[in-house]
Amino acid sequence: MTDETRVLYNGDCPVCSFEINHYAAYADRSALPIRFEDLNHGALDDWGLSRDDAARRLYVLKGGQMYRGIPAFIVLWQDMPRYRWLARLVALPGVHRLACLTYDHILAPLIYHWHLRRVGATSTQS
């Protein structure tokens, strides 16, 4: 399906799975063409990512293009009528910059490090 949105997330992460399970339930109830793929239970060949890279951020494939982080959230929210207002808000220039900085430099690294602690690994990358 060419209009399908694919979302790659870490289902083993309690924070990630809580949020994505909410979106998936809404998408299912609304019959939206969004597929949610747990990086722990599928091949990553289509994504061109290692499991470690995939665990670091949210990724979305839409129209042959891959989005990561806040742009991925915006694409996902645009496809869900209930969240289009949030996509418009976060896409505003000042808000977008602040959201990207916060997600990329605080939230995503923090959640990723929690993930490493849960799986008993240590990061060799910053």
Q: 88-99 burial, b for 16+ CB within 10 Å, e for fewer?
A: eebeeeeeeeeb
pLDDT digit string, tens, across residues 45-103: 889 999 999 999 999 999 999 999 999 999 999 999 999 999 999 999 999 999 999 99
Q: Architecture of 5-119 per CATH?
A: 3-Layer(aba) Sandwich (3.40)
- Residue 2: pLDDT band (50, 70, 90) is low
pLDDT digit string, tens, across residues 23-33: 999 999 999 99
- For the chain, which residues make up each domain, given as ranges? 5-119
Give pTM, 2 decimals: 0.89
